[in-house]
Amino acid sequence: MSVLYSLLQRKATGLLSVLLLAVCVIGLAQPVSAADEVERESITLAPVSSRFQIDAGTTKEEELTILNDGNTAYDFIVYARPYSVSNESYDPNFTQTPSNADAYQWVQFRQVSWHAEAGQTIKIPYTVRVPKGAAPGGHYGVIFAETQPVQETNGTSVIRKKRVGSIVYATVKGSYTTGGQSLGSSVPPIQFRAPLYANTTVENTGNADFEAQTVYRVSDLFGNVKYETQKQFIILPATARKLNFEWVDAPWFGLFNVTIEAKFLDQTVNAQSLVLLVPRWLLLVLGVAAVGGGVYATLRIRRR
């Protein structure tokens, strides 16, 4: 009887251990609670740019929209800075102040400090106040919205700044010059891997910005369009801009007809080229095969 009791006791202990293990596993498998979620701070601004014509000595009411599309609240500020570009790649510069990068001085905010809860959308009104003596032509600036560091309970702050911007393209009405020209296009005829790329460069010779409307098209030898994209680029006064195009998902091998069309002011510029997309290793293999075939053919001729 004692043997039977001991056997039952061991089985019960084993069953209890299995149940406890199952409870632990289930507990570990539970999803993380909302309180344990990793904080994700995100700020989105619209529009990314505003472009308009305005008379000197007048004002214009504008508005930005801020969306907190993260899962944590934050404070943010808004402010304006100069906007210009460097080189043909148009790297932005927010510190230098050429004569036409003064539109930031015209921007006035009713309120500069804001708070956004997670998921909240906030409208930021501002006024563009153009001086009476503003020169006709293009004037530029950028408006930034920037999150602020979070103050911890121990008095320290966590550096967690994020910044988004909206470019201001303002053209003061009056007597100004518009002019531009093409500085050439580049469509390399042999490319070794995707993306399949090309570019064209446009120069602005006036003192007001203009927009270039472009089409980049890739077709096979039968005229079937494999990829096409349309883009708009703004060209600032006294600058040249390289307009870059890419077919990111191009195949590893192929022969394609590539065309670029750029329209600006009263001009249309076209560039076209056949492009062979081929890996370097395949060219190497073909080269070795060609050399080997030539050597073999020479040896056969000599033997005859």
Residue ranges per structural domain of the chain: 44-172, 180-281
Distance CA 269, CA 202 (A): 10
Judge contact between 156 and 162, C-beta under 8 A: no
Query: Within the chain, where are the H helices?
Result: 2-29, 280-303
Q: How many C-beta atoms lie closer than 10 Å to residue 104's C-beta?
A: 20
Distance CA 62, CA 124 (A): 9
Give me the pLDDT at residue 151, please. Answer: 66
Handedness of CA 221, 223, 227, 231 (dihedral sign): positive
Distance CA 204, CA 235 (A): 6
**β-sheet bridge partners, residue 269:** 262
Question: In angstroms, what CA-CA distances link 193 with 175, 200, 226, 260?
Answer: 49, 20, 16, 20
Task: Output the 3-class SS for 163-225.
Answer: EEEEEEEEEECCCCCCCEEEEEEECCCEECCCCEEEEEEEEECCCCCEEEEEEEEEECCCCCE
**Phi, psi torsion values for 100, nearest 5 degrees:** -95, 10
Give me the pLDDT at residue 295, please. Answer: 74
Q: Amino acid identity, residue 136?
A: P
Q: Amino acid identity, residue 243?
A: L
Does the domain spanning 44-172 belong to CATH 2.60.40.10? yes
Judge contact between 266 and 227, C-beta under 8 A: no
Query: Residue 20 is encoded by which pair of tokens?
Result: 């406890």
The whole-model pTM stands at 0.80
Residues 180-215: b if buried by 16+ CB within 10 A, e if exposed: bebeebebeeebeeeebbbbbbbebebbbbbebebe
Same fold, 44-172 and 180-281: yes
Does the domain spanning 180-281 belong to CATH 3.60.15.10? no
The pairing of beta strand 190-191 with beta strand 267-277: parallel
Q: In the chain, which residues have pLDDT < 50?
A: 1-5, 7-8, 11-12, 15-16, 18-29, 32-35
